[in-house]
Every structure is written in C-alpha cells, then in structure tokens.
Amino acid sequence: PLPEGDNLPEYHTYCGKYVVNNTRREPIDLCGKQFNQGSCGSCYAASTANLGQYLYANISYYYNDKDINKTVKPLFTPQRWIDKAIPGGSNLQISKRCCGGNVMNILDAEPSYSLESDYRYIDGSGSTSTSCSPRGDQNPNVKIQMRNDHYHIFAVTGTHQEKVHILKKILHHYGPISTSIYTSVDPAFGNVGSGIYTFPSSCTDNTQTDHQVIIVGYGKGRWKRILYYEKFMV
C-alpha cells in the first residue's frame, strides 16, 4: 500500500554521489558497480540485477551493524534471466533475450540471483548472442545468492506533480524501485546517461516505454525536482 503522510525529506537517495545531500537518511552508498548491458537489449534483466545488488547490500549493511566497510555489494548476473526460455504470453509478457523483456515475467520464471562471476554475461556483440530466442539455462546448478520472495506493483496516476510526489513517497518508504521510461520522448532524455530525470521538463503522458531503469532517490537541483536513477546503457 502507498505510505500515508506527506512529511518527506527534501533530499533522499540510496546510491551514488548524491547521498551526501541526504536530509535525514545516513549518507551511505548502498549501490556497487553498475551493470553495463553493452549491445544487448537486456535493460529489463540488467536493471533487475542491479536492484538485487541494492537489496543484498541493504541486508548486509544492517546485518553488519551498519558498518559500510563490511557491507557486501555483489555483482549479480542478468544472464540467467536472458537465457531463460519462458513459454506463452503476449509480446508484452514474454522476454526475448537481447530484444527486450518484462521484469515481472523474468522474476516469476526465475526468482533468484546469482553472481556474474559464476554465470557470465554475454553483451550481444556476436551474431549468435544477439538472437531474440532464449538459448535456455546454461547452468541450472549455479549457486544461488539470494531469492526473491515477492514484489510490489504500483500504478501511479494524477498530474505530473502528483505522480512525482507519489514516487517520492514510495522511494522513501520502500527504497529503490524498478520502472520503465521512454527515452525518445524528450530531447532531455537524449542525455539519459546523466542518471537524472528532471521535473517537469522530462515529463510525458505517453505510456510507451523503451528502457528499464531503477530509481534510487530524489532531490532538488536549480529549483527543480529531480529523480536519480541508475542507467544501464553504454
């Protein structure tokens, strides 16, 4: 459920250099190495791997009595989800290796995380690896580091301002979230690699999406509300 109350900190992020601006939360960075999807259209899997990294690091941080030096930030592989042969469903429900996919779909099919060092990522630069047809699990016995018990789904409605406010409440209460964006809708998204979504210049009513990211926090910059996100592009 959506958290009640509107008493939100002005700056609140879980990752990256912007943690130093946090209004209330400790200025700790719980995200490690960002996964580069390379030439493979696997943002749906790469973003899920990075979100899992944050979740694991958050558990590790509290398990080690909030000692950031002992906090583990594992690099999880997206490759098992990319390889997974998921039967049935429409084009919006089925994952197609390096040709796009759906986060809920892959977590339903394989709700676990393994290390990239144990199950290597193929960036899609070769003719075979750019295939849209999943090749099947190459190592079903790979060691599992963490399992996904369940996930929450949020539908955000209202004006652009109301949507941003709701997203801030979700981020403050639940932590980083996975979401789809449409990178072609606005010239501002031409610089998507900056990792900053600026309100209201980057807003749109278009429901079409072409990229999956995780939003890791929010703040203000030059009197504008901004959302920080982890990117998975070259």
DSSP string of 32-97, one letter each residue? -PPP--TTSB-HHHHHHHHHHHHHHHHHHHHHTTT-GGG-----B-SHHHHH----S--TTTS--T
Q: Give residue-wise pLDDT tens across range 51-102.
A: 999 999 999 999 999 999 999 999 999 999 999 877 655 555 577 888 888 8
**Integer Cα distance of 234 and 212 in angstroms:** 14
Range with lowest mean pLDDT among 103-117, 204-218, 219-233: 219-233
> Which pLDDT value is given to residue 115?
97
pLDDT digit string, tens, across residues 13-23: 998 888 999 99
pLDDT single digits (tens) 148-207: 998 988 888 888 888 888 889 999 999 999 988 777 655 555 545 555 666 656 666 666
- Neighbouring-strand partners of residue 196: 228
Domain boundaries, the chain: 1-28+154-234, 31-151
CA distance 45 to 124: 13
Q: What is the CATH number of domain 31-151?
A: 3.90.70
Q: Which residue has the tokens 């295939």?
A: 131
CA distance 56 to 175: 12
Cα separation, 225 vs 199, in Å, equals: 5
Residue 4, CA distances (Å) to 166, 216, 225 in order: 10, 20, 21
Q: Give every CB contact of residue 165 below 8 A, 6+ residues apart in sequence.
A: 6
Dist CA 78 CA 85 (whole Å)? 14
% helix, strand, coil for the chain, step of 5 = 25, 15, 55
Q: What local confidence, expressed as pLDDT, does residue 199 receive?
A: 60
pTM: 0.86
